[in-house]
Amino acid sequence: MRKVPGRFITLEGGEGAGKSTQLALLAAALNRRGIEVVTTREPGGSPGAEDIRALLLTGEHERWTARAEMLLLAAARNDHLSKLILPALARGAWVICDRFIDSTRAYQGSAGGLHDEEIMAVHRIACAGIMPDRTFYLKLPAHVALARARARDGNKNDRFGSRDTRYHDRLIDFFDQLLKTESVRVFGVDACGESESITDRLMDALRDWL
């Protein structure tokens, strides 16, 4: 990663934390500074990975085991990196991605029962172990985030959004822990308040690159 000129930024957090909103606002703020930005998301981001996304998000809870999800996500991520992310970074663009490997560690790992070591081993095989340059964990109390998602989606849920509170608590625990164990890469950002204020906090946390 260090050999390519672009910057690879990921946004992480629970459902409804405001990642998609901040993806667009942060890209616009960086564009105003003259930076080419590519925005993308996971699962998905390339045509092949979007096909895998449809497999992952639809159907019953029990459709896939956590291990099968991890393997599908790894295949999707390989395609996404090869076809979109790495070419963009190579030409000097900044890439902002809504979720990446840390979501697999949180959802399939911490909440799904797989060990972090095996997830990272698969990531090394599928994606050469490529990690983001910087990750922002959008911190919002779970009940606020879920209320926002419910207000947006009503009772329409995908395979992940409809899981119980304990599952969501384990996700939050993972991200809180990541702030401590990978503190050079992962930054916590308060995701409460007006959207524009949150974007200002993100830009502030990028000032060493600007």
* Contacting positions for ligand Z5A (CB under 6 A): 13, 15-21, 42-43, 73, 99, 103-104, 107-108, 148-149, 152, 158, 160-161, 194-195, 198
Q: Which residue, 74 or 93, has its beta carbon nearer to ligand Z5A?
A: 74
Q: Which residue, 78 or 103, has its beta carbon nearer to ligand Z5A?
A: 103
In angstroms, give the least distance from the CB of 153 to ligand Z5A: 7
Q: Which residue, 94 or 107, has its beta carbon nearer to ligand Z5A?
A: 107
Q: Which residue, 4 or 149, has its beta carbon nearer to ligand Z5A?
A: 149
Q: Are 100 and 10 in contact (CB under 8 A)?
A: yes
In angstroms, give the least distance from the CB of 139 to ligand Z5A: 12
Q: Which residue, 93 or 103, has its beta carbon nearer to ligand Z5A?
A: 103
In angstroms, give the least distance from the CB of 106 to ligand Z5A: 7
Residue type, 183: S
In angstroms, give the least distance from the CB of 49 to ligand Z5A: 10
In angstroms, give the least distance from the CB of 28 to ligand Z5A: 14
Report d(CA 186, CA 164) in Å as an integer.
26
How far out from the chain centre does Cα 186 lie? 12
CB under 8 Å, gap of 24 or more: what pairs does 3-6 form?
4/86, 4/89, 4/90, 5/89, 5/90, 5/91, 5/92, 6/88, 6/89, 6/90, 6/91, 6/92, 6/93, 6/94, 6/95
